[in-house]
A and B are shown apart, each in its own frame.
Chain A
Amino acid sequence: MLAYLIRRLFAAAVMLVVIILVVFGIFFLVPKWAGVDIATSFVGKQADPAAVEAVRVKLGLNDPIYAQVWEFFKGIFAGRTYAAGGDVTHCAAPCFGYSFRTEQAIWPVLTDRFPVTLGLALGAAVLWLIFGVAAGVLSALKRGSLWDRGAMVIALSGVSLPIYFTGMIALSVFAFSLKWFDAEYVPLSENFGSWFGGMILPWITLAFLYAAMYARITRATMLEILGEDYIRTARAKGLREQTVIGKHAMRSTMTPILTMLGMDLGALIGGAVLTESTFNLPGLGREVLTAIKTQDLPIILGVVLITSLAVLIANLVVDILYAVIDPRVRLA
């Protein structure tokens, strides 16, 4: 088990480094290839050459790419100092640099946006796990019934609807026409009730899409497993149907669901870009979208790093749970 854990941790760390390198590659090399100067995007197109050069020196853009990557890593753990002649800025650890547009330090922006996205992702995950898995299991057990068909039609529609469209419909019907919920985001630290009220529509919208996906997968997996020999054996032993389903079948059904949950949750924590844009939630996803449109590299790097970390941690937790549920994994 320990060796398995260490191997997974090591793989996760390697992955993180690779992701940082790729992001650097995308945002430093592609513009260079396309003939766009990052320093000009920082100062503005009409700036005089001396100012552009000063920015280039200060941000270390003249250094070779490996030196820039190294400086970036160093900044995260030890802080870094930007200097161009007499112009010196010190950035304490964890330093992700400064936004090209607003000149704010990145780290406080990240810690400010993160709770919004985390709340959205976790709340929705609870909803979609409960409803998605329950619907899928019931459908599998009552295969071919009216319930099964109805649930699967709804689920197929759910996965065919773009989330921003569902969100807009939800806003139009429940927030605008019926006035059941507020469409306003209030930070959790300000007022719990208002935060909760403002999050209900985003949660339901996001959970609807994922519940539909999970219901389909759960149903398919459950049906496959109900056909396995060991289920027949369990029934032949005279176990109660409740035990056969609840203990024997559910355990195997949950393994692929867990894998999906890890990936989905990680990806969402890193920024539910579409949901946040639709409901105007000030989370990581909206932040990074703005940053991408304005080519604000330091913010993009910061968010992508957080996202990748979230995905990796979620996968790691899933891998560990996996080993707990399925003993075969530990031996592999």
Chain B
Amino acid sequence: MTAPLHEPTAEAAPSPAEEAAAVSAGTKAVQGRSLGRIAWERLKRDKLALTGGIVVLALIVISLLAPVITSLVGQDPDVYHEDLIDPLFGTPTGSLGGISADHLLGVEPVNGRDIFARILYGARISLLVGFLSAVVAVILGTVLGILAGFFGGWVDSVISRVMDGLLAFPQLLFIIALVSVMPNEMLGLTGTSVRVFVMILVIGFFGWPYIGRVVRGQTLSLREREYVEAARSLGAGQLYILFKELLPNLVAPIIVYTTMMIPTNILTEAALSFLGVGVKPPTASWGQMLSSAIDYYDSDPMYMVVPGVAIFITVLAFNLFGDGVRDALDPKGSR
């Protein structure tokens, strides 16, 4: 490979250096690119998805550090600032809902609590419920879906009927009903933590059939593959095949559905708090801020815009990221 570079060639053949690079890239691709690696390469090129991912990360950091950030700006979500409220109308004095250097996003009508601090604390509830209810749904959905798909027969019939039934249920109504009949004290939890716990359980419970159906379908097709047969002929037990052979191949669809489920769950939590059956005041949550803002939509529109935009940005970021993850992991890779 020492041909002089200036030597004319009959066809526009790639230069040796290029050729070598292509060959080595090719072998690398064959050797070391796992599905996760390929997906990450694709995800890195997707600007929108990356932006979504960064916003999601930022939101997680912000909500973890909420007490630190609020004390840095010198605000507390539960302190009243009645001096900032117009005594006649009950709305904040000053423009745009009382936005000032002290109160970055203004104050609430009537009691004058700092909206910035309440938004930060509200983020904790939204993200906590969004993530953990997705975890509940994923665990239930994966276990039951894999069992239904793998064992078939009556196990499959029972689990599938339950999934069909849950999907045909008027879900929001049942979630509202269940959340509201749950006791206010259980398992040693009280107050806000019990509401959060109940929401996580109930939202997660109604979410599992979506994952369960996908996992069941995938398991049905995977269990007939040669490698499962190979494992079986080598004497592998049922559990080994389930968890060592099938589960790793189900990771991609599970990740996709989990990322798509989180924003839905965040919206459900906000809706429950908006309807007054979620987190109870004075604990801050975005949905509950919106529900009190509904009385001020004409006199103090900023009060509804701030939590509304907070929900919007969060859910949009998760959706962008989720779409990107789906495209990256989609074997067809065409969409």
Q: Which residues of A contact B (CB under 8 A)?
A: 15, 18-19, 22-23, 26-27, 30-31, 33-36, 156-157, 159-162, 164-165, 168-169, 171-172, 176, 220, 223, 227, 263, 266-267, 270-271, 273-274, 277-278, 288-289, 292-293, 295, 300, 303-304, 307-308, 311-312, 315
Contact = CB atoms under 8 A, between A and B. Distances in A.
Given A168-B293, A169-B308, 14 more contacts: A18-B165, A26-B177, A27-B177, A34-B182, A157-B316, A162-B311, A162-B315, A164-B294, A172-B298, A172-B304, A266-B170, A270-B173, A288-B173, A312-B168
Given A168-B294, A289-B176, A162 B271 contact: yes
Contacts of B305: 169
Interface string B238-274: 0000000000000000000000000100010011001
A271 B168 contact: no
B280 to A, nearest CB: 12
A300 B319 contact: no
Contact of A273 (B172, B270, B320): B172
Contacts of A295: 180-181
A172 B297 contact: yes
B171 interface: yes
Interface residues of B, number: 45
A277 B323 CA distance: 31
* Residue of B178, B181, B267, B301 most packed against chain A (CB within 10 A): B181
A36 B185 CA distance: 12
Nearest to A314: B168
Nearest to A303: B173
B19 to A, nearest CB: 33
Contacts of B165: 15, 18
A29 B290 CA distance: 33
A162 B177 contact: no
Nearest to B268: A162
A172 B296 CA distance: 10
* Residue of B170, B293, B298, B323 most packed against chain A (CB within 10 A): B170
Contacts of B180: 292-293, 295
A220 B275 CA distance: 33
Contacts of A34: 181-183, 186
A169 B305 CA distance: 8
Given A162-B267, A295-B181, A300-B177, A263 B168 contact: yes
B117 interface: no
B181 A26 contact: yes
A87 to B, nearest CB: 28
Nearest to A227: B334
B312 interface: yes
Contact of B316 (A27, A31, A156): A156
B315 to A, nearest CB: 4
B225 interface: no
Contacts of B170: 266-267, 270-271, 304, 307-308, 311
Contacts, number: 127
A244 to B, nearest CB: 19
* Residue of B183, B287, B297 most packed against chain A (CB within 10 A): B297
Interface string B283-297: 000010011011001
A159 to B, nearest CB: 7
B276 interface: yes
B169 to A, nearest CB: 7
A171 B275 CA distance: 18
A161 B275 contact: no
A288 B186 CA distance: 26
Contacts of B171: 267
A137 B178 CA distance: 39
B311 A156 contact: no
Nearest to B326: A220
A220 B335 CA distance: 7
Nearest to B179: A292
B308 A168 contact: yes
Nearest to A30: B181
Contacts of B276: 293
A183 to B, nearest CB: 10
A23 B170 CA distance: 11
B277 interface: yes
B172 A267 contact: yes
B271 A274 contact: yes
B140 to A, nearest CB: 17
Contacts of A22: 174
A253 B267 CA distance: 28
Interface in B102-149: none
B301 A162 contact: no
Contacts of A266: 170
A274 B287 CA distance: 11
Shortest 3 CB-CB contacts between residues of A and residues of B: A34-B183, A165-B308, A160-B316
